Structure 1
Amino acid sequence: MSSALIVIDVQESFHRRELWSANSNPDLVDQVNRLVGAARAADDLVVWVLHSEPGSGGPFDPAHGGVRLMDGLQAHEGEPTLTKTSHNAFTTTNLQQLLTVRGIRRLAVCGIRTEQCCETTARIASDLGFEVDFVTDATATNPIPHRDAPADRTVAEILADPRTLGTDEIIARTEYALAGRFATIRTVAELTGVPAGVGG
């Protein structure tokens, strides 16, 4: 076992955010499951990471029940589930130790959100000496309102604002930032050897 799949923040919390209705990847759970299946078949480690904001009162507050894997995903026995409170999956968990003890040197990163927790984890992993595959089509994000936009706008108002950063641009920026520096940009089909929609 020299590789690991890191599944970041694919959790029910996001379903409680109105803006998630405009997310970039409605097939995310299926894509993650394809990667998980391939990792298990190759005897690679699968690590599940959840984000928690205790006491916040929001969707990431564990007291509200959203800090759990999205429906359709399930960790198997022996697959670690880590809970983080930082954007990246390393700083507030024992992920680095867990990987190092197992001799793992290569990581595939997927999950939510493309430009935030996934990208940040990929950058940190690279700086820690891991080889990183960033599986963009197994990540998801949502449009980002302009920094000066009012906080109480509706999803429709956010999407209508020309200053809103759209998901295609967010994803492209992440790939430009990571490729050749922090990670290799990969697809689910490349890592599983099976094109989407083939084999059920």
Structure 2
Amino acid sequence: MSSALIVIDVQNVLFEPEPRPYEADAVIDRINGLIARARTAKVPVLFVQHESSGTPIEYGSPGWALAAGLDARPDDPVVRKTTPDSFLRTDLAERLAVLGATRLVLCGYATEVCVDTTTRRAAGLGYQLTLAADAHTTHDKTHASAAQIRTHHNATLSAIRSFGVPIQALPAAEIVFDA
């Protein structure tokens, strides 16, 4: 089974202004650990970046750039998206097909929107999924804290069986990439 690591929306405008996302620095550290292990195993790392014209997350703007401290390289593939679904109107599926990827490890921002939507879409497309349970984050909401939202999504997504493929939620340190 060929894997790929997908890092969703870890961008300046989402990570730098106060208040920052829940465990922002720890999440970036955990993502960097995943990136390092993926690269060691020669597993491709793809960065997904959200964009919206005329906003602080406009393509090419400082806010659109990947967050400081994230271990991205200039030659890493970037997928540009305009919806919470990393597959909708993007070339992500085509890139993964070229790579032969059948298993995806997902991490990033925002747990209840882009991470959730991308996880469900990928499962619907038949990918085997591992959600890095402590390497995705969001901001607190009026109805729930970011910690509660992450806990809820880890439990909910990993309980879905109807797609016919497993969705695992594992701590980032437990995720293994086969060389």
Which range, TM-score by smaller chain? 0.7 to 0.9
2:126 paired with 1:129? yes
The correspondence of residues 23-62 of structure 1 with structure 2, limited to 5 A, is 23-55=22-54, 57=55, 59-62=56-59
CA distance in 1, matches of 2:129, 2:79: 19
- Residue identity matched to 1:6: I
Cα offset for 1:192? 5.0
Match of 2:85 in 1: 88
- Residue identity matched to 2:43: D
Cα offset for 1:121? 0.6
- Residue identity matched to 2:89: T
Q: Is the 8 A contact 2:12 2:65 kept in 1?
A: yes
CA distance in 2, matches of 1:16, 1:45: 26
CA distance in 2, matches of 1:50, 1:111: 10
CA distance in 1, matches of 2:173, 2:154: 17
Q: Is the 8 A contact 2:51 2:80 kept in 1?
A: yes
Match of 1:70 in 2: 67
Cα deviation code 1:16-50 (max 9, x no counterpart): 54442x52443121111100000000110100111
Structure 2: 5+ residue runs without aligned partners?
Answer: 161-165
1:26–1:74 Cα change, 3 Å: closer
Match of 1:156 in 2: none
- SS of the aligned residue for 1:27 comes to helix
- Residue identity matched to 2:50: H
1:192–1:101 Cα change, 3 Å: closer
- Residue identity matched to 1:185: A
Q: Is the 8 A contact 1:47 1:79 kept in 2?
A: yes
Match of 1:168 in 2: 147
Alignment RMSD (CA, Å): 2.0
CA distance in 2, matches of 1:30, 1:131: 24
Cα deviation code 1:143-164 (max 9, x no counterpart): 112xxxxxxxxxxxxxxxxxx3
Q: Given the two structures, how large is their TM-score scaled by the length of structure 2?
A: 0.87
* Percent identity over paired residues: 33
- Residue identity matched to 2:167: A
Q: Is the 8 A contact 1:108 1:132 kept in 2?
A: yes
- SS of the aligned residue for 2:135 comes to strand
How many corresponding residue pairs?
Answer: 172
Q: Is the 8 A contact 2:22 2:147 kept in 1?
A: no
Alignment counterpart, residue 97 of structure 1, candidates 94, 99, 105: 94
Cα offset for 1:77? 5.3
- SS of the aligned residue for 2:144 comes to coil
- Residue identity matched to 2:45: V
Structure 1: 5+ residue runs without aligned partners?
Answer: 146-163, 194-200
2:96 paired with 1:112? no
Cα deviation code 1:169-193 (max 9, x no counterpart): 2112212220132610011110159
- Residue identity matched to 2:159: G
1:170–1:54 Cα change, 3 Å: same
